[in-house]
Structure 1
């Protein structure tokens, strides 16, 4: 009997550079997941690294500080330059990936030296990257609603719904939903995802306000998470200044929503297909009303949350209370959301004058 021995030749990579870079990204993703970062965060960081690699046309062992500078210049030379915070985010993605590659706990130094005769290095430094110089880095044009703008926006949302109801339009129920959704976002200072992820069971009673029934509190289960942690939870109290929105929420839950909901449906805000609406749907519906009124295009759904913070301060609520209501980890974050009106500042100024100088007789 003749025996044969098969000798397998070593596998030769057709594109060893691309294969090595892909392996780097795969191992980097595993390390990020091991830290507890969410899938969306991991994907965003990998996307940022891939974008930088495509811009340079080189792989990490060939990267240098000049590549970061050229990348930044390209972002700033656009017709509409990229925001400071966005560029800083890109820099951070590149820096963290380079830290992973140069970490002695991994063997990328030896692998690259053996395969390519070069090694990766940290290319992001204080002298070629954007620094976090301010607490608030959004565009200066971003602002809360004014009172007149808010009234016009909510009035228009109600008018659209009422017209569709009168004409028995198929979109009447979604329009009624949108009007109440936007009022609820404002009246409870909600983020977009916090709002769309609400269930009916997240509406709770406040024993101090029994007349409001089960609409005295909103329990948020999908608050903005800290890195590597699950969504943060908090309970938001309904406030007397927004009782009109609380009454509308009652009408939505008890009279309108049952016409859409099926048995067992949990979501508070349902689509025409009887599923939970998405943040994109909320954004699109918001933009239609805003543009219909020709309001400032920089006003977004999130601007309603900014308005909530600003108006609570103007109503006289303590900053710590406002911070707890909106779920800010730091008081400084609440402060940068605040853009109080001149009337409020003038009132505070005159109150200070009265305290220091005393109110003269006969002067109101």
Structure 2
């Protein structure tokens, strides 16, 4: 069967408007080619039947001047492209006849993203070949079907709700003292979830009161690798050296190569004013920030939280006594915020690290949290 490719090319005369996205969004990811981790697929579980054969492909590769790209799928598809270079020039595209789609880049280009959707309802097209100047990057296509992977991944969800509905407690697990994302850590301990507590005013769209509590089935035993953190309260500000509050975030979220980190990473960033965030992107932050329940933080230098980091703590080191000068003092870490959402790139459903991150303000939920502590 010959494949039919219908291409819609969006050419934007001005800077594209960024959109908001939860950092730990319902988008799931996988690799369509076993031999190349630069090619990724994102897809959304739970779509209506007419849309469940739609997904997003992103190839994080440098495409040189005058290069020719060919892609082959195993069924008919619609493909929607957005192609733009760093200098805002646009590449011309040629569509070849037959069973392949051909792109000809006349200027250098970094990365290629596009949406794929099957022409036949219920039939999902799968990538079988991806070549650049006749060099094959998908020599071993993954044969596992997306609906199967999608079903499996949905059962191992990494947040407390899906589209606003609370997950079953059996679908969540808690691992304490873990450092490596994959593989066993000798010091890590797994815990079952006894109860999921969602804030009664939580909403998914728009994202409001993005906070949940997990009650574990057994008691946690602290050691050198598993330690508690305090909750940040208003009085803690008096012990800090300045009015500017710096926090540390940790996680296994996406790195610059658009894949999850294999080991736990950390970054330091300051809380910035609401006005600073609004100036950066008025549309997004005006809808995401609330003076009591959220705050904005980041360095505007590429250091940020990203997909896979959501739910992580914004931790502030609070000394036991008021700091004076550069003296070293004892103290402990206090959870000031929870990583919630950020601005996504215009050309891919992943975070844009040049923007600030919105955090749930834990300080505003102290009373709500304490009513569930026994």
TM-score between the two structures when normalised by the length of structure 1: 0.25
- Bigger Rg, structure 1 or 2: 1
Higher strand residue share: 2
TM-score between the two structures when normalised by the length of structure 2: 0.24
